[in-house]
Amino acid sequence: MTTTTTYDAVVIGGGPGGYVCGIRLGQLKQTVLVIDKEEVGGVCLNWGCVPSKALISASHSYEKFAKHGPTMGLFADNVRVDTAKMQDWKDGIVKKLTGGVKALLKGNGAELVIGEAKVTGPKSVELKLADGSTKTIQATKAIVIATGATTIEIPGFKFDGKQIIGAREAVSLRAVPKRLVVIGGGVIGLELGGVYQRLGAQLTIVEATATLLPGVEAECTAVVQKRFIKDGAKIMLNAKAVGYDKNKDGSVTVKLDVGGGKTETVETDMVLVAVGMRPNGANLGLEQVGLTVDRGFVPTDTFCRTKVPSIYAIGDVSGMPMLAHKASKEGEVVAEIIAGHKAAKDWVAIPGAIFTEPEIATVGLTEAQAKEKGIDVTIGRFPFAALGRAMAVNETDGLFKVVADKKTHEVLGVHIVGPSATDLISEGALALEMHAFLEDIGLTIHPHPTLGEGLMEASLNALGQAIHVMNR
């Protein structure tokens, strides 16, 4: 039976874009229905950002105890890993967070339903529930597409959920493979490859291009690459995975195209394919209402609006970068617009946080990107090794790098590789949003002894005034 229900707004997708949009719409006294075909929270809460960070933190603690404890005079005998218990702990965090999101939606008056949605008109959606029944939902003001992205499968590597897996399976392994090949030296490959390396797997990273994390500041990726190798990983660059054979002993032989007509092979027990995500814009009925879906992306303007004025798109499905915090911000912007307020995508820069060992965090232009734009830049650097606090936490690999306009001293980019880089970057993001100058960061008193002093010193270094390092 089909029944019709009417809301001010219907949000399709309950990830960090959709649920934030729903909460904000509720706060703004709009009636809203958030629809998700799985659990609320999307990739981020259920098998992406949060679960992976839990495993990263647990494996990091293990490594600190097992490997680095003795350097600091700490001896904990028989430190061992119970992967299944670690997974249960991680699942508990996910449950707590998705439960929290449900409570926040409800508390703000937003409704949530699990079901599959299809757009049937500029202001109408067909909702199919698990029992097979359908409902027509009318949106008096807007429909928001927040359907996210899905892991890409590449030819020759069909996921079998056991030996050939994607990120979704990789955050739920209940045993550590002896050998792991990661295809793709991008964010997911390095974050999850790092987890299982720290937990004892022999890791090989296969990357098709000439560098890990293409597009990220090269001085940062160099530090991470060095650490992976120091910890025993094999990194194969300019190597494209093209297929695999299953062997009689249960192992897998991965075939690589290494250029020049040459091939190489790597034997392993498990393959994690992490070669990117495809946006989920197809099969939503958008073409029928006059929208063009571009390789899965739903094109939008600075107001997150599509060519159909009542339909908006936010998050991964609306364009790069595919980051949860970008999706959430767009969710807030759209909610404000639907409620009749003035809002737009007017930010200066979106920070990026990569949870490798050590962490990388960036905001704004890299030195190369600034130069490509024809900007005359000045650079400031400061190594973690020169920070008392970094020595005290026994994590001295890495550096702060500040990119600024040589003439005006306006800060254009901040790039950090080192301990807590992902927390430290927020100061850089604030600096860019406020169009800060090197002097603004350099003359601000930063507490001692903290890791944050590094950004102050790097800014001063660009001015030739850093205290704890020789200036150029």
Residues of the shown chain interacting with ligand NAI in the complex, contacts defined by CB under 6 A: 154, 183-189, 191, 206-209, 214, 240-241, 274-277, 321-323, 352-355
From 62, 95, 96, select the one nearest 81 (Cα to Cα).
Answer: 62
Of residues 55 and 375, the one with the C-beta less far from ligand NAI: 55
State in angstroms the smallest separation of the CB of 336 from ligand NAI: 25
Distance from C-alpha of 37 to C-alpha of 173, rounded to nearest angstrom:
24
Q: Which residues contact 148 (CB under 8 A, 6 or more apart)?
A: 13, 15, 17, 42, 43, 279, 280, 315, 316, 317, 327
Distance from C-alpha of 176 to C-alpha of 70, rounded to nearest angstrom:
25
The alpha carbon torsion through 211, 213, 216, 221 (nearest 10 deg) reads -70
State in angstroms the smallest separation of the CB of 184 from ligand NAI: 3
- Cβ atoms of 25 and 32 within 8 Å: the answer is yes
Of residues 58 and 187, the one with the C-beta less far from ligand NAI: 187
Of residues 124 and 422, the one with the C-beta less far from ligand NAI: 422
- Cβ atoms of 192 and 52 within 8 Å: the answer is yes
Of residues 295 and 342, the one with the C-beta less far from ligand NAI: 295
State in angstroms the smallest separation of the CB of 128 from ligand NAI: 28
State in angstroms the smallest separation of the CB of 187 from ligand NAI: 4
Of residues 309 and 321, the one with the C-beta less far from ligand NAI: 321
Q: Does 70 sit behind a cis peptide bond, omega within 30 degrees of 0 on the bond before it?
A: no
Half-sphere exposure at residue 4, Cβ-oriented, CA atoms within 13 angstroms:
7
Distance from C-alpha of 157 to C-alpha of 170, rounded to nearest angstrom:
15
Distance from C-alpha of 361 to C-alpha of 463, rounded to nearest angstrom:
22
Q: Which member of 409, 446, 448, 468 is catalytic?
A: 448
Q: Is 448 a catalytic residue?
A: yes
User: Given the DSSP bridges, would you call strands 262-268 and 252-259 parallel, antiparallel or unpaired?
Assistant: antiparallel
Distance from C-alpha of 237 to C-alpha of 258, rounded to nearest angstrom:
8
Residue with tokens 């039976």: 1
Distance from C-alpha of 17 to C-alpha of 135, rounded to nearest angstrom:
24
Distance from C-alpha of 141 to C-alpha of 340, rounded to nearest angstrom:
10
From 426, 419, 297, select the one nearest 352 (Cα to Cα).
Answer: 426
State in angstroms the smallest separation of the CB of 357 from ligand NAI: 13
Distance from C-alpha of 62 to C-alpha of 69, rounded to nearest angstrom:
10
Length of the chain: 472
State in angstroms the smallest separation of the CB of 60 from ligand NAI: 15
Of residues 31 and 280, the one with the C-beta less far from ligand NAI: 280
State in angstroms the smallest separation of the CB of 225 from ligand NAI: 13
Which residues sit opposite 180 in a β-bridge? 203, 270
Amino acid at 326: K
State in angstroms the smallest separation of the CB of 186 from ligand NAI: 2
Q: Does 51 sit behind a cis peptide bond, omega within 30 degrees of 0 on the bond before it?
A: no
Residue with the closest Cβ to ligand NAI?
Answer: 186
From 423, 421, 414, 422, select the one nearest 458 (Cα to Cα).
Answer: 414
Half-sphere exposure at residue 353, Cβ-oriented, CA atoms within 13 angstroms:
19
User: Given the DSSP bridges, would you call strands 234-236 and 202-206 parallel, antiparallel or unpaired?
Assistant: parallel
State in angstroms the smallest separation of the CB of 220 from ligand NAI: 13
For residue 153, give the DSSP letter. Answer: P
Of residues 3 and 263, the one with the C-beta less far from ligand NAI: 263
Of residues 137 and 181, the one with the C-beta less far from ligand NAI: 181
Distance from C-alpha of 223 to C-alpha of 357, rounded to nearest angstrom:
9
Active site residues: 448
